[in-house]
Chain A
Amino acid sequence: MKKVVNDADEAIHDIQSGMTLMLGGFGLCGIPENCIAALVKKGINNLVCISNNAGVDHFGLGLLLQNRQIRKMISSYVGENDEFERQMLSGELEVDLIPQGSLAERCRAGGAGIPAFFTPAGYGTEIAEGKEVRIFNGKPHILESALTADFAIVKAWKGDHYGNLIFKGTARNFNPMMAMAGKITIAEVEELVEPGALDPNFIHTPGIFIQRIFQGKNYEKRIEQRTVRTKSQ
């Protein structure tokens, strides 16, 4: 079982223009920085990207947007990116906005073999247009379908050669469920360890979902909103 690859370039070598990608992260927290940089370098385009956010101008998915490599974004919140807003309002970029919980569950369902599910989120709003509505326990729900991707790209704190992953803090977010929903899932980790080095009781994502893994480098981990208090408070 050989899952370990050398670097991001090798991990993404067969991602092609027009493919659908899932990318983990919430804001800039827990995003696969190395693979995004490699995709920018590779220059493929027409990508459909499923990601909770679209990065910021000049970082994260914002880099792919700036390069016009993305045809369509499927996200829940895109408020931090001027270039995104410009491309969307001008019609250059197709955008599908999805309630955050439905996005998470659609990815989870995609990886878990559940083709669709009913949720109350979005009932009575424009999100529900064209979707089947059914009443359960006296409450209306809408039918949402599962999401899968040609490639899912996730970022973890630690991982082993079998692809078992542990995330750190809120950098976990969408990574575990996206890892499940990729036909091929690539994990970039801050620290790649030998099998047995991670406690099996504390694995967040079992290695079965991961096809390729590598130790990333030069993580910037930019902070979007640096909020602090002073010692006197």
Chain B
Amino acid sequence: MLDKIGIAKRIAQELKDGWYVNLGIGIPTLVANYVPFGIDVEFQSENGILGMGPFPFEGEEDPDLINAGKQTVTLRPGACIFDSAMSFAMIRGQHVQLTVLGAMEVSDEGDIANWKIPGRMVKGMGGAMDLVASAENIIVAMMHTNKAGESKLLKQCTLPLTGVKCVKKIVTELAVLDVTPEGFKLIERAPGVSVEHIIKSTEGRLIVEGEIPEMII
């Protein structure tokens, strides 16, 4: 079974040289720490950065330089700054190659819910709806089940949707799955996790074909 860092490391293996990548808040942010050697990617932050760097050293924080999670960050050499309309032109115009974000639920058709729990939590969608509506390649990073042990990979989302038929791949602590027209397709198992465990933890349609390899992290 993977921890959050393991999930981030596995997603980092999907990065391709030259890609522009938008990372959501939470586990997705960690992906930036595990970019494979020899691969050069630029991170886009939707509040207006291309070429976002790591957190600043203590004492060097700049209140005028934050990421979409309102955390203090730095700029890499060659970075650029722009306004919010320009930022979402990049996103909507499909100039960003990969979006990684968290989710509360994903359906086996690729619908995603991650912005609202009616009556309990209303924080807003931020940029998530724009990102999932336009990104060609969306990877969801999340835990396979919720705190009550219920599957988050569902036949249909029960929470208000963020986007429809958009998620392409999911990486959880248990597995890597592709979203196909026939449902979730099991691609890899996390170290030490059985196929049965994944089947039991997945409520939506799940395709298991042949031997399922264990992830190499």
Contact = CB atoms under 8 A, between A and B. Distances in A.
A104 B84 contact: yes
A125 B161 contact: yes
B76 to A, nearest CB: 14
Contacts of A58: none
Interface residues of B, number: 52
Contacts of B81: 169-170, 172
Contact of B66 (A85, A121, A170, A230): A170
Contacts of A204: 83
B152 to A, nearest CB: 18
Given A76-B125, A121-B92, A125-B129, A27 B66 contact: yes
B84 A80 contact: no
A231 interface: yes
Nearest to B45: A170
Contacts of A221: 63-64
Interface residues of A, number: 59
A107 B83 CA distance: 12
A88 B57 CA distance: 38
Contacts of B165: 124
Contact of A76 (B57, B70, B87, B126): B126
Interface of B: 45-49, 54-67, 69-73, 81-85, 87-88, 91-92, 111, 119, 122-130, 133-134, 160-165
13 contacts: A77-B123, A89-B119, A95-B122, A99-B128, A101-B127, A104-B88, A120-B133, A125-B129, A127-B125, A177-B83, A224-B71, A225-B72, A227-B71
